[in-house]
Structure 1
Amino acid sequence: MFSWHFLNCVILLCSELYYDAAMTPALETLFLPYSNGQLPAEAGAALFVNAMYAPDLQRFNAAHLRWVQWFKPYAQTLERAGFKEETGDGAPGSYDAAMVLGSKSRLETEIYLARATRQLKKGGVLVVAAGNKEGAGRLKKMLLALGYQNIAEQSKNKARVFWAEKGQINQDVLTLWLQQDNEREIPGGFVSRPGVYGWDKIDRGSQILADHMPRDLKGKGADFGCGYGFLSYAVLDKNKKIKALDFIDADSRAVALCEKNIAGFAMKKQGIWMDLTAEIPRVAGGYDWIVMNPPFHEGKKSDSDIGVSFIKNAHQALRGKGGALYMVANNQMPYERVLNDLFWSVQTIYTGGGFKVFHAVK
């Protein structure tokens, strides 16, 4: 039903391109129609939404493939592989093919599908995959709701992949799903959007940390893992002598939202898109203080390694003597050892509601 030709492969040194746990079952399954010969690699321009690197991307011409990804580690891997980012929203109908890696969130998957559909040419093919426990069962209904035709599917790796031809699209559904990605006001008067961690609420741990922050912070500081900006706002609102703040997150959408939510404060501010488990922000003399509520899970599994990396990199980013770290963690996270190994003084200044707040000084 489709008449495309294989393109030259992109030759990569794959051992340098993987980010830990990036090769998910859904990602591997996404490329089955290509590896099995049911679909040839695209002959024109292709878009990959919620993209992650996989060896099967070698089937595509890097000059013709564009990706959309907000998470820094995955974006860096794609860049190192020679693929270029789709900047902006892109022109409607500008791609011959599109791929979507689904999310466990129905809302996010609808947004991804709408983005890909908007930019896909009529008659182009869309390929989408998700894990069986992450919404694979609803993908076909989503494609039908949008108006796709000639839908095919395959199952493997406890995941499912669907591919279909763009026909007469249901514009009402497309418009609704595109609008779901719009920024909107959430409790507390903050601006947020779907996809950002805890996007539609005030995180309980962050609220507890904000309630126990000092009111005498000054100099230059940072918010490690800023999210949409609740903690940054709380710190700046309580401490009027702060001269500069860096707000840092691995999600580029979070950095942009935080910038908007703290725009009313007059001091110097800088947003940084960075993977804080692998990189350390460098400032002259180091930060005087850092606040953070580090991620503690990968999917449904608790993982203290992420928080440990945050702590180690915060220690290196702080100034030599007297640099202070204020952080909140779930009670089950065993951070005391690494804190005591690195810092001169460590105090637990609050315990309650399933959380603990630390004040650590170099």
Structure 2
Amino acid sequence: MDPRSEVILRQVNYLKGKVLFIHAPNDQLLSTLDTSIESSIWTWNYADHQAQIKNGYTSYFDVSFPQQVYDQVVIYVPKSKELLNYILYQVASHLLKKSQIFLVGEKKGGVERAAKQLKAYGETKKLDSARHCQFWQTTLEKIVPIKPLTDWLQQYHIANHHIDMTIYSLPGVFSQNHLDVGTAVLLPYLEQVKSGTLADFGCGAGVISCYLAKLSPNNIVHALDVDAFALASTKITFERNNVPPNQFYTHAVTGIEDAPSDLDAIVSNPPFHQGIHTNYDASEGLCRQAKKHLKTQGELWIVANRFLNYSTLIEKYVGTCTVKADQQGFKVLYANNAKF
């Protein structure tokens, strides 16, 4: 069981009624709770959501607070300070005054910083510290009005060759308020990508997806991500850059295995973090399984940190890997799904 959940179990007597667990990991916590606790989960991680549904839990995959009434919430601290601000505001605008808000997180994950954010909503106290984690409680004293999701957007402009677009990003999305270096290195090479039906794996705020759509009205772009905030951001980016709705699709995925088939190209700045922890499963899975989703002569384009040896995997599972660029600590890798 996740150590954060173990700390919750140490203080489980504080929980009662209808309890919403926010950003809960995929573990067995809910099945160990007393039947008097009516528990459900709000998550924006599609892989966790699918696993929780499989376990028989009530799970909501969304960017907004579930349309239910709760007595208490337990928030697992997200990596992003801005995302926690959004979550706390959502909680405060949906709970009744005097409701209990609990916060749990790893010390190295910023739980003490998060507790300071929590104090803005009521008197806060630490209930426990164990397993390198902390568990905090607040009684909600500050009620705030509901704000539309669009009020939380940040934006920035990109001008590259003949493509001009504005990126719109919600809290917690990768590189929320600026263009990241890896994607900046990749952008000039997107004009070389084969036209047709394309996928952007790990779409984030939609930089690559929108750029590919803008390159040609004949491009059909599938934006794929595990994160609901990324998918919502990408959809807004498409719409506000006037990309026709029949030119793009957004998909919640657990990994590349959920991608469409018969693609002309897959383009990716693949993720290698899950929360505060490094995790290469998604990006390595992309290298291993991309071939199954590409047409013959379909292309794989990846930008990645120079130290990540994806070229070996690409050579083994897709085809000859060519380094198109090596600059600013990033490599742009290309392979063609030719018949062996």
Residue type of the partner of 1:275? T
Instruction: Provide the C-alpha distance between the structure 2 equivalents of 1:179 and 1:259, rounded to a whole number of angstroms.
Output: 13
Superposition deviation, residue 361 in structure 1 = 0.5
User: Distance in 2 between the 1:303 and 1:82 partners?
Assistant: 26
Q: 1:235: which partner in 2?
A: 212
> For the Cα contact (< 8 Å) 2:204–2:231, is it kept in 1?
yes
Question: Matches of 1:205 and 1:74 in 2, distance apart?
Answer: 27
How many corresponding residue pairs?
A: 324
Residue aligned with 1:322, SS: strand
The residue number in structure 2 matching 1:76 is 50
User: SS of the residue aligned with 1:209?
Assistant: helix
1:151-175 CA distance string (max 9 Å, x none):
3511001111012333xx234xx46
Q: Which amino acid letter does the alignment assign opposite residue 55 of structure 1?
A: Q
On the 8 A contact 2:324/2:334 being kept in 1, the answer is yes
Match of 1:20 in 2: none
TM-score by length of 1: 0.80
The one of 104, 109, 113 aligned to 2:84: 109
Q: Give the corresponding residue for 2:323.
A: 348
The 5 Å alignment of 1:275-314 reads 275-276=254-255, 279-283=257-261, 286-298=262-274, 302-314=278-290
Q: Deviations over 1:28-68 (max 9, x none)?
A: 3233211xxx42x42x3221122223323121559932321
1:51 and 2:37 matched: no
Q: Is the 8 A contact 2:263 2:298 kept in 1?
A: yes
- Structure 1 gaps of 5+ residues are 1-22
- Alignment partners' CA distance in 1, 2:264 and 2:101: 50
Aligned partners of 2:193 and 2:265 also within 8 Å: no
2:264 partner amino acid: D
Q: Could you tell me whether the CA contact under 8 Å between 2:202 and 2:226 is conserved in 1? A: yes
The higher radius of gyration belongs to 1
Q: What is aligned with 1:28? A: 6
**More helix per residue: 1 or 2?**
2
2:130 matched to which residue of 1?
156
Q: Which residue of 2 aligns with 1:339?
A: 314
1:251 aligned partner = 227
* 1:176 to partner: Cα distance: 10
CA distance in structure 2 between the partners assigned to 1:157 and 1:350 by the alignment: 44
Residues 99-119 of structure 1: CA deviation (Å, up to 9, x unaligned): 111123332223223323333
Partner of 2:153: 183
Q: Structure 1 pair 257/142, CA: closer, same or farther in 2 (3 Å)?
A: closer
Unaligned 5+ runs, structure 2: 159-165
Instruction: For 1:86-125, list aligned pairs within 5 A.
Output: 86=60, 88-90=64-66, 94-125=69-100
Instruction: Report the TM-score when normalising by structure 2.
Output: 0.85
* Counterpart-to-counterpart distance in 2, 1:56 and 1:212: 46
The percent of aligned pairs where both chains have the same amino acid is: 22
Matches within 5 A, 1:125-274: 125-148=100-123, 151-166=125-140, 169-171=141-143, 174=144, 182-188=152-158, 189-215=166-192, 217-242=194-219, 244-263=220-239, 264-266=242-244, 267-274=246-253
Equivalent position SS for 1:295: coil
Supply the distance in 2 between the matched residues of 1:275 and 1:125 (Cα, whole angstroms). 32
Please give the alpha-carbon distance, in whole angstroms, between the structure 2 residues aligned to 1:299 and 1:216.
31
1:140 CA drift (Å): 4.2
Distance 2:2 2:259 in 1: 29
Q: Does 1:316 align with 2:286?
A: no
* Structure 1 position 229, deviation (Å): 0.3
Distance 1:129 1:336 in 2: 39
Partner amino acid, structure 2, of 1:46: V
Report the secondary structure of 1:122's partner residue. Answer: coil
Deviation (angstroms), 1:358: 1.2
CA RMSD after TM alignment = 2.8
What is the one-letter code of the residue matched to 1:356? K
Whole-Å Cα distance in 1 between the matches of residues 201 and 277 of structure 2? 21
The answer to whether the 8 A contact 2:290-2:318 is kept is no
SS in 1 for 2:101: strand
Deviation per residue, 1:315-362 (Å, 9 max, x gap): 21101x201111111100011211111233321111111111111001
Give CA-to-partner distance per residue, 1:115-148, whole Å, 9 cap, x none.
2333333333222111112222234433432123
Deviations 1:266-300 (A, max 9, x none): 353211000215x23233xx101111111123456
67 and 300 in structure 1: CA distance in 2 versus 1, 3 angstrom threshold: closer
Change beyond 3 A, Cα 1:152–1:356: closer
Q: Distance in 1 between matches of 2:305 and 2:114?
A: 34
Q: Contact conserved, 1:223 with 1:232, CA < 8 A, in 2?
A: yes
Letter in 2 for 1:229: G
- Asked if the contact 1:111–1:180 (Cα under 8 Å) also holds between the matched residues in 2, the reply is no
Residues 27 and 337 of structure 1: CA distance in aligned 2, closer, same or farther (over 3 Å)? same
